[in-house]
Structure formats: C-alpha cells, structure tokens
Amino acid sequence: MRKAWLILLAGGILIACNNDKKTDSPSGDKTEDTTATTNGTNSPIAAVNFLDKLLGSFVGAFGDNKITLLITKVQGDSILGRSIVGGNDRPFAGTIIKSGGSYTVVAKEPGDDPNDGIFNFSIAESNPDSVSGSWKPNNAKKPAKAYSLGRKQFEYRNDVGSYPEASQRLLKAKDVENMYKEELELMRNEIFARHGFCFKKKNLRQTFEVEDWYVPNTVDIKDMLTDIEKKNIELIKRYEKYAEEYGDEYGR
C-alpha cells in the first residue's frame, strides 16, 4: 500500500514540473503572445496611422491676426477642418497628397463669405506638429498671406489674464467701482478670451492675440460661460455704463 502511494506522489511531482516548463521561459518569466503586434513577418504593425497624427489645432500669426487652423478629419485623400481668425469661423474641405516625406494640402473655404479663400500648406512626416503654407483669398483685391503654425490645443484656464478673479469668484462693487471704463471693458472681454472667443473688433484682437495663453477657438461662447462669469459680466457692464456717463466724476 505504501509503495503504491509513493508511485502516485512521484507521478504528481513529474506532471507539475512538466507544466512549469511549458509556461515559463528560460529566464523564469512568462512568454508573451506577440501575434497581435506583427503582420506575419518580423515587422511590427504601426499602432497609430500617421494621418491620425495630423488631427488637431495649429496656431500662429496670420498677417496681423492670430489664426487657429483645425484639422478635424483625414480619410484617404480627403481632409476637413475649420479656420478661426478675425472673428470668423469657417469650414474648409480639400485634398491631401503625400509627396516624398511630406503631405501637401489644398483646402477651400465655402466661398459664400467675402473673407473666404484657399489654403495651401504642407506637413512633414518628420514634424507633424508644424504646418506652413499660404492662403489665397477669393477676392482678388485682398492680399494673400503666408503662415507657419505650431500645434497648440485650446485649454480653458481661469488663472490667466490681468483680472483672473472675474472667472474665479463673484465680484463685489468694491472690486470695480474705482475702475476706468477701459479697464472694465478689458476685464469683461478677458472672460471671453479665456474661453477662446475670436473677436471681430480689431482693438480687442490686438489686445489678446499677443498673449501666449490666448487661442482663438470659437465665435460662440454663450453656452461655455460659467454662472460666476455670467453674473460678473452683468455687474461689469453696469459699471461700464456708469463710467461712460459720469467719466472721471464716477467712483473717484
């Protein structure tokens, strides 16, 4: 009886050892299944299509203004996106063609706006975070523009600008009652700028487009403002009106 028990124990130990040899590599680590990362040869499958890297926003100088060129879709030889500049938000559509180590894009805005035109730009495979090219307006009386833009994503931040408190907390009368009209106007429009609002007024564009944190991103922010910001805007507008009516006599 004892002999039979010893035979069974030895057999169990032998089976366990064989299983360990099957599951463990010579180094003692478990082997990994690489079938999902190869295409039947020794070359790994690319995890991300390069064209997907082109998606996103590119920001920089565009004549006297700052522009955001937003690429939203690339499929085959077709490309879609938007241009946001000078208070306008315009869609564009066109073609993208690979030539050597770069991609060339020709994209047209719809043409039903006097400021529409055609974008020509290129993106190098070695640097998908930069685009450079030119824009030709449909209106022959308007000048063409060259540009070189870098990738930059819009990010809402309530801690930038000269008056960040207008986006952080409810303002009180004492916060604004001794300010000039120009200061109040800046405080109010800074709220919009933090949301990426693209201004039509030239003086406001010149004010905010020099700021590194400012990225023109939209021409409609009514659904983006916080409750605090909405209440502060109303308060600031009231004091702007008072300051305009009473000038230096107001609050001083």
Q: In the prediction, which pLDDT does 30 show?
A: 42
Q: In the prediction, which pLDDT does 52 show?
A: 87
For residue 62, list its beta bridge partners: 65
Helix (H, G, I), strand (E, B) or coil at 3: helix
Q: Which two tokens stand for residue 132?
A: 């450079």
Using alpha carbons, select from 95, 99, 97, 151 the residue that is nearest to residue 118.
Answer: 95
Distance between CA atoms of residues 74 and 55, nearest Å: 7
Q: In the prediction, which pLDDT does 244 show?
A: 76
Q: In the prediction, which pLDDT does 9 show?
A: 45
Tokens 């523009």 belong to 145
> Could you tell me the domains of the chain?
50-151 (2.40.128), 165-249 (no CATH)
Question: What burial class does residue 132 get, using C-beta atoms within 10 Å of its C-beta: 0-12 exposed, 13-18 middle, 19+ buried?
Answer: middle
pLDDT tens, residue order, the chain (252 aa): 444 444 444 455 444 445 554 444 444 444 334 334 444 444 444 445 778 889 999 999 999 999 999 999 999 999 999 999 999 999 999 999 999 999 999 999 999 999 999 999 999 999 999 999 999 999 999 999 999 999 999 999 999 999 999 999 999 999 999 999 999 999 999 999 999 999 999 999 999 999 999 999 999 998 999 999 999 999 999 999 988 776 655 444
Computed over its alpha carbons, how large is the radius of gyration of the chain? 30
Using alpha carbons, select from 87, 67, 89, 65 the residue that is nearest to residue 206.
Answer: 65
Distance between CA atoms of residues 126 and 14, nearest Å: 56
Q: What's this model's pTM, rounded to 2 decimal places? A: 0.77
Angle at 44 between CA 42 and CA 47, to 5 degrees: 170
How many other C-beta atoms can be found within 10 angstroms of the C-beta atom of residue 80?
A: 15
Residues 6+ apart with CB under 8 A from 9: none
For residues 83 and 67, the answer to whether their CB atoms sit within 8 Å is: yes
